[in-house]
A = this chain, B = another copy of it.
Amino acid sequence: MGLETIASRDNPRIKEYCKLCTGKQARRKLGKFVLEGSRLCRESLDSGVLVEYAFASGDWIEENSGMIEMLKERSIPIFQISDPLERRIAETSGPQGIYFTCFLMLPLEKEALARKKRILCLYDIQDPGNLGTLIRSADAFGFEAVVLSSGCCDLFSPKVLRSTMGSVFHLPYYIASDMLRFEQEMAAHGMTSAAAVVDHADLQAGYCNLPEIHLLYIGNEGNGLPENFAQACRYRITLPMKGKAESLNAAMAAGILMWEIMK
């Protein structure tokens, strides 16, 4: 194929890749993030993500001529990496063969949010797997955007991106530095909100007809939403349970609420 081959970890593009892989600060400072694996890389191309570099193993290059064509058409530089180097940069146990450095997608403008019908708003979600699953489920249930409080874990960490299974490229996002002020601004635009709570709910999902809900707020895994925040929302919504489990996993509870709102 005549591709330039990289075998050294000291190659500046590889050094940058590794930095972007592990550090939120590096991602923010450089305005880039990384992807690993055919599925995510393919989804990013299909979704118009700006890819800076592609790194691929010899085996992968042989087996994926279609995607190599696509990269060349878009003038994305492709570097072949040696197998030992791949094992050093791969995050997952079975090396995936293909790695991208991409430019961060820009967040949505706040004004554009006010025209959406269903938005998932996440308040200080800590676990990357939960964050990814939440975004994947929002995508499956027809939600149109995701809002993250600045206390959430980083949307562009490799673990989050993997857990979204590519849904991160379907939903625009917005980062709210002050969630309460964000809610007040959305309410001023006539948008209706519901806070997911365990106790003292106005709405029992699945057991009453739900009013129109534009914004669904989900709280932190351990603590839920702050009490004053939940009170500031138009509604408080809960899932009635039957067994002895004290509560559902945050991603599960949110998934069922989105399902009920979608139906």
Interface residues of A (CB under 8 A from B): 129, 133, 136-143, 165-167, 170, 206-207, 239, 241-249, 251-252, 255-256, 259, 262-263
Contacts and interface: CB of A to CB of B under 8 A. Distances in A.
B255 A140 contact: no
Contacts of A166: 245-246
Most buried by B among A166, A242, A245: A245
B129 A245 contact: no
17 contacts: A133-B249, A136-B245, A137-B245, A137-B252, A138-B243, A141-B241, A141-B242, A141-B243, A142-B241, A143-B243, A165-B245, A166-B246, A167-B244, A170-B243, A170-B245, A251-B252, A256-B259
A138 B249 CA distance: 12
Given A207-B263, A255-B256, 8 more contacts: A136-B249, A137-B245, A138-B243, A139-B245, A140-B243, A141-B241, A165-B245, A252-B252
Contact of A165 (B136, B165, B246): B246
B139 A249 contact: no
Most buried by B among A136, A143, A167, A247: A136
Nearest to A248: B140
A129 B140 CA distance: 21
Nearest to A137: B252
B244 A259 contact: no
Given A239-B259, A255-B256, A256-B259, A247 B206 contact: no
Contacts of A246: 165-166
Contacts of A242: 140-142, 262
A246 B140 CA distance: 7
A138 B133 CA distance: 18
Contacts of A255: 248, 252, 255-256
A244 B144 CA distance: 11
A197 B69 CA distance: 35
Contacts of A259: 206, 239, 256, 259
